[in-house]
Amino acid sequence: MHDKKKILVICPYPEGVAAGQRLKYEQYFEHWNENGYEITVSSFMDMPMWKVAYSQGNFLAKAFGTFRGYFRRLLDVFRVSRYDLVYVHMWVTPFGSSMSERMFRNLSNRFVYDIEDNVFMGKGSNLNLLAKLLKRPGKITFLIKAADHVITSSPFLNDHCLGLNLQKSCTYISSSVDTGRFLPVNPYSNDKKVTIGWTGTFSSKIYLDLLHNVFLELNKRVDFKLRIIGNFKYDFPGIDLEVIQWTKEKEVEDLQGIDIGIYPLVQDEWVLGKSGLKAIQYMAFGLPTVATDAGTTPRIIRHKGNGWLVKTDEEWLDALETLVKNSELRRNMGEAARLTVLENYSTHVIKSTYLSILNKLTGTRQ
């Protein structure tokens, strides 16, 4: 039996906690292992750092967490060359120049760069100071140019990277979900108050805030509950609000309690790089999804077929009011949405794309 090829994964966040990692490459580790790869993960943040990174204050804890992250990267430098392939997600280190990235690239045998969102723009619409500092366009541009292969989160981002990558070797791979775990259980009934739901992190809360006036007006027209699943506190006086702190253990159960999923966005270049993950999550559970007609969402959602695309507050109101009232429409859209995910965005469909890239770079034959 051949020895397993070794992959070192360099990533920002601890394994199993960040959606951008969990619902992209992390969920394929077992498949890679079954196909001849041994995976070692080195995250910049450890769990204590993750718990405070996007909170206000906690400066000392953040400083010590950052120091620990840089120490881990220093240790990584001495082992990078022992791996057949180095897989970098987002960046090697968060601050300063691209020196760390250049060092890891030069020491690596083969090098994959996995980029999420339009981080090369060096901006995030709403992130705190720490998160803004994490977005370093110089680092990102170097990684795109120098990688043996770039994996992107949207077609727009893929086109951008193709223009930079020296190998002209880029692949758009959608976020995906385990459809054997993300199972529909919704009764599509109006026997109880309909729940409109949103899931996300502190960094994407600004998009939820866009619907403040929509919910106030909707509350005058229909009876509904708003469920928010995230890693932050949220207040909305006058609205029947349920805020749930996200946990890996209850993720499925909490999302299954939603009747309508919402995915508000803004019309800007940053959004063009987003993968549409929230929509895919809701749709996997057989939920009708109302989403801003921007970025990747029109590729995922067929308007009034497997979901509802909107642009204005009035369109948001019309879509949500109609769906809250019409349980049969929720059923029809939800069932179509589930089918879309099964055919295009399940781990079963996506896994071969990742594996083919690894095999090509390491010269592995299957």
CA–CA–CA angle 219, 224, 227 (5° rounding): 110
The answer to whether residue 30 scores a pLDDT higher than 80 is yes
pTM confidence score: 0.88
For the chain, give the mean pLDDT: 91
pLDDT tens for each residue of 54-93: 777 889 999 999 999 999 999 999 999 999 999 999 999 9
Q: Which domains does the chain have, with CATH numbers?
A: 5-176+347-362 (3.40.50.2000), 194-344 (3.40.50.2000)
Predicted confidence band of residue 146 (pLDDT cuts 50, 70, 90): very high
113 near 149, Cβ under 8 Å? Answer: yes
Higher pLDDT, 229 or 133: 229
pLDDT band for position 305 (cuts 50, 70, 90): very high
Q: What percent of the chain has pLDDT over 70?
A: 92
Average pLDDT over residues 192-221: 93
pLDDT exceeds cutoff 90 at 270: no
Q: What pLDDT score does 366 carry?
A: 63
pLDDT value at residue 201: 83
* pLDDT score at 358: 97
Asked if residue 134 has pLDDT above 80, the reply is no
The better pLDDT of the pair 225, 18 is held by 225
Q: What integer pLDDT is reported at residue 130 of this predicted model?
A: 45
Least confident segment among 50-64, 131-145, 203-217, 218-232: 131-145
Q: Which pLDDT score, from 0 to 100, does residue 268 have?
A: 73
Confidence of residue 306 (pLDDT cuts 50, 70, 90): very high
**Model confidence at 232, in pLDDT bands (50, 70, 90)?**
confident
Confidence of residue 273 (pLDDT cuts 50, 70, 90): low
Least confident stretch, 236-245, 263-272, 319-328, 329-338:
263-272
Say how far apart CA 60 and CA 16 lie, in whole Å.
25
pLDDT at 128: 39
Per cent of the chain over pLDDT 90 is 77
What is residue 92's predicted lDDT score, i.e. its pLDDT?
A: 96
